[in-house]
Amino acid sequence: MPLAADIREAAGQARRVLSAYGDRLRWVSPDHLHLTLQFLGDLTMSQVSKAVEAAEETAGAEAPFAITFAGLGAFPSSAAPRVVWVGVTEGSQRVSVLAERLAKALRARRLSLEDRPFAPHLTLARVRGTGRSPDLRGDFKAMGAVMLGEQRVAELAVVKSMLGSSAPAHTVVAAVRLGERLPGSKD
């Protein structure tokens, strides 16, 4: 799901809050911030086509809605983080339903999915290196609630990510608007 410019800007402000850990955290560029519903890994062209079909099926059955990005967290924990994120508060249930419906459509097309529970979030940073992770519990508590803002969810995007030595490159393969039924679909 593409992010609005004001959400990207607010994410940069949240990043400044944790600037003391700049050398320990590898920040996601604001241009690369996104909300992932399903990660599929390496796919053949045929599998990409199936992923697009699944996105079309899922999006066609869902109406647009709003979400709010707020609150800092970390996976697996703020005491020993590997990933620092901002959560989805308002609308998180709708995002979770959308992700589950997409997963069902992908599985119906025999595409492999990650075997981990879905938690709607926006990844801000990953901890660098293999040493001891910084303990962020006190910082998170002192910062209080971080609020990035509200955004309308109106489309699903199938995105190809190319990882390399520099920042990853993301290419939108297909973008499908929510609530638009496919030709020949039944209402």
Residues annotated as catalytic (active site), given as ranges: 34, 121
In the numeric block, the tokens 């850990």 are attached to 21
